[in-house]
Structure 1
């Protein structure tokens, strides 16, 4: 298992929560955002739950495109092994200066999502139930000085002062 060394978990969660996400369904690009309902995604592709995961830049350290693509291939093999339906997706910042490829997966159990994210060195992943707002699942502890971030779930015990 990879160990994440994040300089500022709160800043990272804020960036993930503010990111723009999109998926390609039947050739159409459909956007979704943390904290918002993904009604367009759900109308196009009916599932009980949805998850966005990437294998790019594990431990929040930029890697070469070749290394990211190799990790992505391993992630695809793991998702295929779970016999789940998935579509190409990505995350980017507001200015499109940063972009990471990933996958939107239907009906992936959140505990399996967390295990995959951990296996691939990710600090967070998105998950939501049909009809509910998109949530960010941070696999890190919430720092004590981090204010409340709507739609962010911290999955590790809080860091003590």
Structure 2
């Protein structure tokens, strides 16, 4: 049986993800990513990459006390999938601003948007980060924006259902 998120999770999840502390690892050093800000350190480290993403096989609504998310099998499956697709990746994590949860995941280099959305959907993620080189880091949320969730310039809301061509359809979001 799949656990259910806490009540109101869909409404509050975008805000929780917006305010989380995101990090990625290179050569033993953890570097910061911020939603809504560019990532020059990342772009300098991987000058050939055109696009970047960060996703996990864990779910913050189900993270255990102490910040441990029960997703080791899912994480291994995600790694195998990334390897099978030939997508390069680095360790990454997201930590809630109040330190009640921590998600381990992967910073992926040069994912195609459609493939990334398929991965996100396939691993049950409601939100992930995806942005193009030279642009600010963006949060990509699956599904329509809940009426109670205010619009945000750094959030893309996408239709999680696959289209006829296997892609994912963007949901128009009114400007804030």
TM-score range (shorter-chain normalised) is: 0.7 to 0.9
If asked which structure has higher relative contact order (CA below 8 Å, sep 6+), I would say 1
Match in the other structure for 1:48? 50
Tell me which moved more, 12-21 or 141-150. 141-150
1:141 is paired with a residue of what secondary structure?
Answer: coil
- Distance in 2 separating the partners of 1:139 and 1:66: 20
- Distance in 2 separating the partners of 1:29 and 1:63: 23
Q: 1:97 to 1:146 in 2, by over 3 A?
A: closer
Stretches of structure 2 lacking an aligned partner (at least 5 in a row): 160-170
- Distance in 1 separating the partners of 2:70 and 2:15: 26
1:76 is paired with a residue of what secondary structure?
Answer: helix
Tell me which moved more, 144-153 or 30-39. 144-153
RMSD value over aligned CA atoms? 2.4
The offset of 1:38, in angstroms, is: 0.7
* Match status 1:88 vs 2:97: no
Match in the other structure for 2:36? 35
The offset of 1:29, in angstroms, is: 1.0
CA displacement, residues 89-115 of structure 1 (integer Å, 9 cap, x when unaligned): 000022433110000000001111111
The offset of 1:150, in angstroms, is: 2.3
CA displacement, residues 32-58 of structure 1 (integer Å, 9 cap, x when unaligned): 011110111111222110000000138
Which segments of structure 1 move beyond 4 Å, counting only runs of 4 or more? Answer: 63-67
Q: What is the number of residues matched between the two proteins? A: 156
CA displacement, residues 47-95 of structure 1 (integer Å, 9 cap, x when unaligned): 110000000138x333696841111000000000111110000000224
